[in-house]
Structure 1
Amino acid sequence: MTCNKARYLLFFQYSGTSYSGVVRAPETQAVLGVQNYLEMAAQKLRPVGKVTFSISSRTDSGVHAICNSAHVDIERTPDKSPFSEETLVEALNYHLQPEPISIRKAIRVRDDFHARFKAISRTYFYRVVTGCKYRSLPVFERDLCWAAAERHLDVPRIQEAAQFFVGTHDFSGFRSIHKNTPFQSPVRTLLKADITPSTSLLPNPLQNSSLQFWDFTFKGKSFTYNQVRRMTSALVAVGLGNLTPQQIKFHLEERRPPMFPGAIVAPPSGLFLKEVEYDEEDLKYNQPNSEGRAPGET
């Protein structure tokens, strides 16, 4: 029996606080990954065979995504046409309730398209707040930023230091070794490193006027494990006077992690995957006419 199979590129977002990360976790594990819930939702569409999502960009437990992406093949029996892009989005979101996961867009792509390998850039930003301790943060912010210091940052010094990261470098001094990728190359090309003012989620009358929010934004084709969190931590140290911009340059060239008072890897809660970018040519597909079904229909 032949089946109607279609490959889709899905853009999705999630709050990472309650998940083990974005990738699938063993079903016996108490806390599952975002991928587990995506695949459970897809199976409720009653496809032919098991549905597997190929995630473009890994995020760890506690890390959020404004926009991550994945490709997925969905087969249907010969009497059913492939889902339209709009219907697939609506149906998956229907079955993802009440999880804080949302499909934002679906694009029908060629059968050889790969969400990870076709990505031309990824953009992350890290939300930092100064002017308070963690316990003084508004409760709605506590899983969405890092209360890095009670005193404020020297932003011009951070901007100066951040530019040393831009370009192609060996980032051995700004990565962690992950058990699943122990031999991953530390050489990466960073296209952008910037810090800009951000805002609280709360309206001004309810916001502590002493708080200052900042977005540390990094763009590149790919990143090593914990690279963004380690770069952010080092740049905050520069802003607090615990490191100099020239020390960032030195440790980058020497491929050794910088040491400074209170040295830590910035916590996952402030990190967001903002965007995964593709070449428009890779997203072109001459889609045949098809009709989808409403959410919950089979």
Structure 2
Amino acid sequence: MHNGARYLIFFQYIGKKYRGAVKAPSNQLGWKGVQDHLEDAIGKLKPLNTVSLSVSSRTDTGVNALSNSAHFDLQRRKDKPPFTAEILVEALNFNLGAEQIRITRAHRVPDDFHARFRAQSRTYVYRIALGISHNSKLPLTESDLCWNLRDKKLDVGAMREAAALLVGTQDFSSFRAVSSDIHIISPLKTLDVATVEPGSSFVSAHFHREIPFWELTFTARSFLYKQVRRMTGALVAVGRGQLSVPQLQGILEARDSLSYPRGIVAPARGLFLTRVDYKETDMQLSQQTSEEQFTSNGNSED
């Protein structure tokens, strides 16, 4: 006999060390994905089942996250009640050790909850630093965490005009990278938010000089492979005068990945997944399950 529970966890990571958010392919020796490390940490809790995470957002190699999410099932012996959310967070962070991955919160969720398919929206923020000729001129806290451009100014007005063209439900084929599932996943996506706003350095109050930062924010229920980095690269090209707003509109209307100009895709290091949102009602346990959990936790020292 065993006690089983499904958990939703939110976690953050610095992406440069990892082969993306999900498990690394077995043929890529020496690389691990964030999922590999999370499953190793959960395995140290000695569950009865083989734990496999379902990650909500498959960020690419080098992409960072302030709040990605995943669900998993964890079974314990009958005399071991399900972990509370607080204890689970503490235990997993302890087991992760020095990895640049941290669990920020956890929830026990219904057995039919799915982290990927129940997500209502995902928000990405792309960070850009201006007037930086080389990465070494950034404060250490920004190293590999933004796209540093030599340009001292961008035409932000043109970038905002171009960003407005991307909002809405449309075919984003021109902004998807070629992948194995290109013929399976529909290129029709609804982009709810595309903004260009001033940002700041993580140490703006302490660094010896001010560095202009800009943040590009995108929100949608889901995105195509490398869509955010390709939209960012195109908007920055508009800001630099390499593309006009009508040219960007033409790229979008072409609905062909080959129409996307070569060499302008934004690098992974400046991209952050900042939010994955769910309906509260989807995350709520039934009254009976909640009462059982309260009773079990009240009688446990674990």
Counterpart in the other structure of 1:173: 174
Write out aligned runs for 1:1-298 (5 A): 2-26=1-25, 29-135=29-135, 136-179=137-180, 181-209=182-210, 211-256=211-256, 263-285=263-285, 286=287, 287=290, 288-289=293-294, 290-291=296-297
Aligned sequence identity (%): 48
CA–CA distance in 2 between the matches of 1:237 and 1:213? 16
1:127-182 deviation digits (Å, cap 9, x = unpaired): 01111223433333121000133231111111111000000111111110123555
CA–CA distance in 1 between the matches of 2:251 and 2:63? 26
Q: What's the RMSD between the two structures over aligned residues? A: 1.8
1:202-253 deviation digits (Å, cap 9, x = unpaired): 24452433x3111100000000000000000000011111111222222111
> Letter of the aligned partner of 1:175 in structure 2?
R
CA gap of 1:107–1:237, structure 2 versus 1, over 3 A, is same
- TM-score scaled to structure 2, two decimals? 0.91
Higher helix share: 2
CA–CA distance in 1 between the matches of 2:206 and 2:56? 40
CA–CA distance in 2 between the matches of 1:205 and 1:75? 48
Structure 1 residue 259: Cα displacement: 5.6
CA gap of 1:167–1:82, structure 2 versus 1, over 3 A, is same
CA–CA distance in 2 between the matches of 1:208 and 1:197? 17
> Letter of the aligned partner of 2:284 in structure 1?
K
CA–CA distance in 2 between the matches of 1:181 and 1:110? 32
> Letter of the aligned partner of 2:122 in structure 1?
R
- TM-score scaled to structure 1, two decimals? 0.92
CA gap of 1:165–1:75, structure 2 versus 1, over 3 A, is same
For structure 2, the residue ranges without an aligned partner over 5 or more in a row are: none
> Letter of the aligned partner of 2:144 in structure 1?
D
Structure 1 residue 283: Cα displacement: 0.9
CA–CA distance in 2 between the matches of 1:269 and 1:67? 16
Please, which moves more after superposition, 23-32 or 92-101? 23-32
CA–CA distance in 1 between the matches of 2:8 and 2:156? 38
Question: Does the 8 A contact of 2:16 with 2:144 survive in 1?
Answer: yes
CA–CA distance in 2 between the matches of 1:101 and 1:207? 30
CA–CA distance in 2 between the matches of 1:263 and 1:84? 48
CA–CA distance in 2 between the matches of 1:114 and 1:226? 23
1:186-209 deviation digits (Å, cap 9, x = unpaired): 111000000111111224452433
Question: Does the 8 A contact of 2:174 with 2:260 survive in 1?
Answer: no
Question: Does the 8 A contact of 1:125 with 1:216 survive in 2?
Answer: yes
Question: Does the 8 A contact of 2:63 with 2:268 survive in 1?
Answer: yes
Q: What is the number of equivalent residue pairs in this alignment? A: 291
1:84-111 deviation digits (Å, cap 9, x = unpaired): 1111111111111111111111111110
CA–CA distance in 2 between the matches of 1:142 and 1:178? 29
Question: Does the 8 A contact of 2:237 with 2:264 survive in 1?
Answer: no
Please, which moves more after superposition, 250-259 or 231-240? 250-259
